[in-house]
Amino acid sequence: MNLPDPQAIANAWMSQVGDPSQWQSWFSKAPTTEANPMATMLQDIGVALKPEAMEQLKNDYLRDFTALWQEFLAGKAPAIADRRFSSEAWQGNPMSAFNAASYLLNARFLTAMVDAVETAPQQKQKIRFAVQQVVDAMSPANFLATNPEAQQKLIETKGESLTRGLANMLGDINKGHISQSDESAFEVGRNLAITPGTVIYENPLFQLIQYTPTTPAVSQVPLLMVPPCINKFYILDLQPENSLVRYAVEQGNTVFLVSWSNPDKSLAGTTWDDYVEKGVIEAIRIVQDVSGQEKLNMFGFCVGGTIVATALAVLAARGQQPAASLTLLTTFLDFSDTGVLDVFIDETQVSLREQQLRDGGLMPGRDLASTFSSLRPNDLVWNYVQSNYLKGNEPSAFDLLFWNSDSTNLPGPMFCWYLRNTYLENSLKIPGKLTVAGEKIDLGLIDAPAFIYGSREDHIVPWMSAYGSRNILNQGKPGANRFVLGASGHIAGVINSVTKNKRSYWINEGDAADAQAWFDGAKEVPGSWWPQWAEFLAQHGGKKVKPKAKPGNARYTPIEPAPGRYVKAKAG
C-alpha cells in the first residue's frame, strides 16, 4: 500500500485554503464587507470588528503566510513547537510540516480575530470557545489524509492499523463514548474502590458507606465525605496508592461516605432540596446516631461541597450546628467567575433546559461528559481519535480516565435549580435570598472552621473562585478558615497521593483580602497537600478513642460490602 501522493495532498490543502494570491485577495477586502466571510459571520451574530485591528491582522497574516509559502517552495521545513506535530514524521516531511505550520498560522489568526471583536466579555468568550472548537477539530493531525504518522503506520502494518482503527471506532459508537482507557483493565469493587468498608444504609438517593478502621485508635469526631453527584465517588477511592479515602482511614479517622445513586426514571422528579434533605442531612443524622457524636468533620468535593454547604446552612437556620469542621475541595460557593463553563450558561440556555426538564426528566450522563470533554478537546477527544481510530492503537490502562468515562445522570429538576440559582444568578452566596428545604439560608451562619482547597490550573472551578469561599464562611472570624492551593487541575490536583509525592502546593498562614494578595504572600511547598488536610482534621477530631468493632449499630445494620451496588450502576 502506497502513501497518498504528496502533490495530491498539496492540491487538497490548497483547494481548502487557496494559494497565497487567493488569500491576499480575500484578506485585502474591507473587514466589514460581504466579501470577507468571517466578518460577515460575526456581523450576523451581532458583533463588529475593530477596523484598525483587522487591518493590522491582515497585514501580519499576509506577511507570515507569504514567508511560509516561500520557505515551502525553497524546500525548507518550518520550525514547529506544537507537541501535536513534534514527531519526525511531521518535522521531516516538508509537505507535512507545511501543512502543520499553515494550520497553526490560520489558528493564530482566527484566535486573534476573535480578540479584535467589539462585544461584551461573555459574548466574546462564547465566540472564542466556538472558534477554538473548530480550530481544534480542523487540525491536520485529525485526518488520515494529512497525518503522516497514521500513514506511516498504515504502511508498516500493511493496512492492519486501519482495520483496527475502524473496529475501535465502531466499538465506541456502540458504547456511546470515545474510549480513553482500556476499560477491560478495571472493575469497580475488584481493583477500584476497594478500601474495606460496609454499606449501612440506603434510600433511593444514596448509600452510606462506613469504612473499616485500620489504626488502633481513631479520632472521636467522625468524618463524613460527600463526593459530587455529577460523577462516581470512586474518584476518591481509585487504587490503594492514590485513594484519598484510604489515606483518611490510615490517618486515624472513622470515615463515612455518601455514594450517590445513578438516577433513572424513578428519580426523574428529584429536586435540589431532596439532595440536601434526603441526602446530606439524612446522612448527617445517621452518622451522628452510629458514632454517638453530635459533631462531625464534614467534607465536600466539587458540587458535593456546594450541597454540603447548603445542607449546613439549612441546619443552621434550624438552630443546629453539626459540623466540627468543613472541608471544601474545588468547590463553588461564589459563582461570579465560573471560567470556561460560562459559555454554556445564559438565560436562553437555562430556560431551554427548564422547559425540557424542570417538571421531570433526566440530564443524560453522556451529555454532561461531552460538555466536560469539550473544555479540553485536544486532550480528551482528538488525541484518542488520532491514536485509536487513525493509528489503530488500543488505549492504555489508566484508572482516572476509566472513571472519567463512567458517567452519571442527573435529575432534571435538581439540575435546573442548580443552573439557575448558582451559575446563572449566583444567589447561593447572598444571605436569605434562597429558600432550601423550607429554610431561608445564609452560608455565613455555618459555625465551623473551613479547610478550602483549590487547584491552580482548574478549568472547571477556577482557584480564585474557590478562594472566594474563604470570604463567605466564618465572616468576622479571622483565621477560622484555611486555604491551600495545589498544582495541576480539577482532578489531578486533588488526587495527588503522598505515596507518589508529585507536584507541589502553596500555603499562606496569613489573612488576605483577595486571592491574588494571598498568592503573592504564599510559599510553595513540594509534594502532596494531603498531610496539610490530615493535620487540619486532627486538630478538629477530638480525643483518640478505640474504634468500634463492628460497623453500624442496632438501627443501621450491614447491607453489603463496600463499594455497594449504587456506584456500579451505569447511566442509561
Residue the block writes with cell 453530635: 294
Q: Extract the C-alpha cell encoding 302.
A: 466539587
Does residue 563 have a cis bond before it (omega within 30 degrees)? yes
Residue by residue, pLDDT tens for the chain (572 residues) are 333 333 343 343 334 434 433 433 433 343 343 445 555 555 555 566 777 887 888 888 889 988 988 888 888 878 888 999 999 999 988 889 999 999 999 899 888 888 888 888 888 888 888 888 989 999 999 999 999 999 999 999 999 999 999 999 999 998 888 999 999 999 999 999 999 999 999 999 999 999 999 999 999 999 999 999 999 999 999 999 999 999 999 999 999 999 999 999 999 999 999 999 999 999 999 999 999 999 999 999 999 999 999 999 999 999 999 999 999 999 999 999 998 888 888 899 999 999 999 889 999 998 888 888 888 889 889 999 999 999 999 999 999 999 999 999 999 999 999 999 999 999 999 999 999 999 999 999 999 999 999 999 999 999 999 999 998 998 767 778 999 999 999 999 999 999 888 899 999 988 787 999 999 999 999 999 999 999 999 999 999 999 999 999 999 999 999 999 999 999 97
Long-range contacts of residues 287-293, Cβ cutoff 8 Å, at least 24 apart:
287/208, 287/222, 287/224, 287/256, 288/322, 289/553, 289/555, 289/556, 290/200, 290/210, 290/256, 290/552, 290/553, 290/556, 291/222, 291/254, 293/220, 293/221, 293/222, 293/542
pLDDT the model gives residue 44: 54
Helix 20-28 and helix 51-73, axial crossing angle in degrees, nearest 10: 170
Beta strands in 24-93 (DSSP E): 48-49
Cα of first residue to Cα of last residue in the chain, in angstroms, is 42
Report the C-alpha gap between 403 and 371 in whole angstroms: 16
pTM here is 0.88
Report the C-alpha gap between 77 and 85 in whole angstroms: 12
- Partnered with residue 452 across adjacent β-strands are 328, 483
Q: Extract the C-alpha cell encoding 113.
A: 480575530
Q: Extract the C-alpha cell encoding 190.
A: 475488584
| Closest by CA position to 415, among listed 473, 360, 369 | 360
518-557 burial code (b ≥16 CB/10 A, e <16): bbeebeeeeebbbebbbebbbebbbeeeeeeeebbeeebe
Q: Which of 302, 485, 487, 491 is catalytic?
A: 302
- Displacement of CA 53 from its chain's centroid (Å): 35
Could you tell me the domains of the chain? 6-156 (no CATH), 197-364+409-568 (3.40.50.1820)
pLDDT the model gives residue 94: 87
Q: What backbone phi and psi angles, to 5 degrees, belong to 275? A: -60, -30
Q: What backbone phi and psi angles, to 5 degrees, belong to 287? A: -65, -40
- Strand 450-455 and strand 523-526: the pairing is unpaired
Contacts of 395 (CB under 8 A, 6+ apart): 179, 180, 181, 182, 384, 387, 388, 401
Please work out, in degrees rounded to the nearest 5, the angle formed at the alpha carbon of residue 284 by the alpha carbons of 282 and 289: 95
Q: Is 302 a catalytic residue?
A: yes
Host H or E run for residue 178? none
Contact 255, 290 (CB under 8 A): no
DSSP codes joined into one string, 429-482: TSTTS-EETTEE--GGG--S-EEEEEETT-SSS-HHHHHTHHHHTTTT-TTSEE
DSSP character at residue 571: P
pLDDT the model gives residue 443: 97
| Closest by CA position to 44, among listed 32, 59, 57, 55 | 32
Contact 297, 222 (CB under 8 A): yes
Helix 94-115 and helix 6-17, axial crossing angle in degrees, nearest 10: 10
